[in-house]
Amino acid sequence: MTQTQAAAGRRETDRLNKGGTLRRLSRRPEIGAFAVMVLVVAAIAIASGGTAFNPLGLKNNMAVIAQFGIIATAACLLMIAGEFDLSIGSMIGFAGMSMTMMLKWGLPFGLGEATPFTAFALTLVMTLGIGWLIGTIVVRSGLSSFIVTLAFLFFLRGVTEVAFRVINNSTQISGLPDYKQTSWFADLFGGQTFGWFYDAWFWLGGNINRAGAQWVTGFDARVMWWIVIALAAWFVLARTQAGNWIFATGDNRESARANGVPVNKVRIALFMFTAFAATIFAACQVFETNTADASKGNLKELEAIAIAVVGGTLMTGGFGSVLGVVFGAITFGLVANAVFFIPAIDGSYYRVFVGAVLLLAVFLNENLRKRITGGL
């Protein structure tokens, strides 16, 4: 028998071409999202003649980006664990309703006047409770989370509308006092952050309004919430034991269970996390504008899922990254807001863009999944 020298010395492990840094990068979940983001940032900067990134433009864009980022981060973690939450948008509406109603009409059960803190805390207890309930129904029944959370999408939106009409005789609340002026707690959600950034900009000779004074004084507080939530989610997912459990639960639930991963607790906790993110989203909105209406958060669950997918999260679970969601949120936020900086375009192009990018992302993700698992 003849055997070539090369074949004799080769082993199974030699067959995996580990490639260079570039190949390695191409296997990261967020690489596609990063490329799209760079393109979008450049395109919008040019098309808007720079106004999208002047002091006010940046503030307004970051406000939308942060909104998307907060809920998409939570949606991403849940999707990595193999589940969906279609109730995020309705949860936002419910939480906003709950907080403003308490502020206007007082705490339930005759507990007296509400403060921003008590209104928020009581609302959070309710939304976390609903998140727990959704998670428990999903893990106990074995039903698809798609259906269970679809039910809660309708249920919570309905409850929100009914509560507004019955108690408030109107589907919106306005004319609440500007709490962020008097309450540090309301200011935490509705006020401004990173003032030093704009101060420094002014100090360096930019950020000047027509009167020659400092123009913009800070980002919306939600930018800080987004950064905190994204950092925490990134750390938990990539660096902790809980993160390993999240990946394991979404990749192959039965093998995770067989190895002692508490897959039910992981999923219930993540449904509570999406409820938490929706509540933060609502609190930022309520305490910034001091208003709420029954349609708040409409369709936000779908945008959150779209952003997670564009960020490289697999629809089938087990794979994804918080950094990808950051890139995805920046992309979506900029495009959603583009109409304000590029008056020539129709605002509905945003949806055209979302549709196209989503489809592209799904194909890219599927390709990525095959490259990761299909190797041999």
Partner 1 sequence: MRTPVIRTERLIKRFGPFTALNGIDLEVYAGEVHALLGDNGAGKSTLIRLLSGVHQPTEGQIYVDGEPVSFRSPRDASKAGIGTVYQDLALNPLMSVTRNFFMGRELYTGPRPFGALRMAEMDRITHDEMIKIGIDVSDPQQAVGTMSGGQRQTLAIARAIYFGAKVLILDEPTSALGQKQQMEVLKTMMRVRARGDIAIIFITHNEVHSKLVADRFTFLALGEVIGKGSRDELAGEDIRHLMAGGVEMRDLEKELADIQAM
56-95 residues near partner 1, rule: CB under 8 A: none
Encoding tokens for residue 21? 């840094």
**Greatest CA separation for the chain:** 92
Considering only the stretches 2-10, 142-150, 241-249, 293-301, report the one whose residues sit in contact with partner 1 under the rule CB under 8 A.
241-249
Is 364 one of the binding residues for partner 1 (CB under 8 A)?
A: no
* Choice from 251, 288, 301, 303 touching partner 1 (CB under 8 A): 251
Is 372 one of the binding residues for partner 1 (CB under 8 A)?
A: yes
Is 12 one of the binding residues for partner 1 (CB under 8 A)?
A: yes
The number of beta carbons lying within 10 Å of the beta carbon of residue 29 is 24
If the CB atoms of residues 36 and 266 are measured against partner 1, the closer one turns out to be 266
Is 247 one of the binding residues for partner 1 (CB under 8 A)?
A: yes
- Minimum CB distance to partner 1, residue 212 (Å): 50
- CA nearest neighbour of 277 among 233, 321, 343, 331: 233
Residues 332 and 306 sit within 8 Å (Cβ to Cβ)? yes
- CA nearest neighbour of 274 among 143, 138, 107: 138
Task: Identify the helix (H) or strand (E) that includes residue 192.
Answer: strand 192-193
* Choice from 240, 352, 360, 366 touching partner 1 (CB under 8 A): 240
Is 256 one of the binding residues for partner 1 (CB under 8 A)?
A: yes
Task: Give dist(CA 171, CA 126) in Å, integer.
Answer: 20
Is 327 one of the binding residues for partner 1 (CB under 8 A)?
A: no
- Minimum CB distance to partner 1, residue 276 (Å): 15
* Choice from 133, 242, 302, 358 touching partner 1 (CB under 8 A): 242
- 3-state DSSP call for residue 219? strand
Task: Give dist(CA 118, CA 120) in Å, integer.
Answer: 5
Is 298 one of the binding residues for partner 1 (CB under 8 A)?
A: no
Is 260 one of the binding residues for partner 1 (CB under 8 A)?
A: yes
* Choice from 101, 261, 286, 308 touching partner 1 (CB under 8 A): 261
- Minimum CB distance to partner 1, residue 23 (Å): 12
If the CB atoms of residues 101 and 261 are measured against partner 1, the closer one turns out to be 261
- Minimum CB distance to partner 1, residue 240 (Å): 5
* Choice from 13, 21, 169, 348 touching partner 1 (CB under 8 A): 13
If the CB atoms of residues 64 and 80 are measured against partner 1, the closer one turns out to be 80
If the CB atoms of residues 118 and 264 are measured against partner 1, the closer one turns out to be 264
Is 295 one of the binding residues for partner 1 (CB under 8 A)?
A: no
Strand partners, 192: 220
If the CB atoms of residues 24 and 140 are measured against partner 1, the closer one turns out to be 24
Task: Give dist(CA 89, CA 76) in Å, integer.
Answer: 15
Question: CA 75, 136, 29 angle in degrees (round to 5)?
Answer: 25
Q: Amino acid identity of 239?
A: R
Is 11 one of the binding residues for partner 1 (CB under 8 A)?
A: yes
Is 318 one of the binding residues for partner 1 (CB under 8 A)?
A: yes
Phi then psi dihedrals of residue 2, to 5 deg: -100, 140
Considering only the stretches 169-177, 178-186, 237-245, 283-291, report the one whose residues sit in contact with partner 1 under the rule CB under 8 A.
237-245
Residues 40 and 334 sit within 8 Å (Cβ to Cβ)? yes
Residues 332 and 37 sit within 8 Å (Cβ to Cβ)? no
Can you state the angle between helices 88-105 and 300-310, rounded to 10 degrees? Answer: 130
- CA nearest neighbour of 147 among 160, 128, 134, 132: 134
- CA nearest neighbour of 131 among 75, 66, 64: 75
Which residues would be at the binding site for partner 1 (CB under 8 A)?
A: 11-13, 16, 18, 236, 239-245, 247-248, 251-252, 254-256, 258-261, 314, 318-319, 369, 372-376
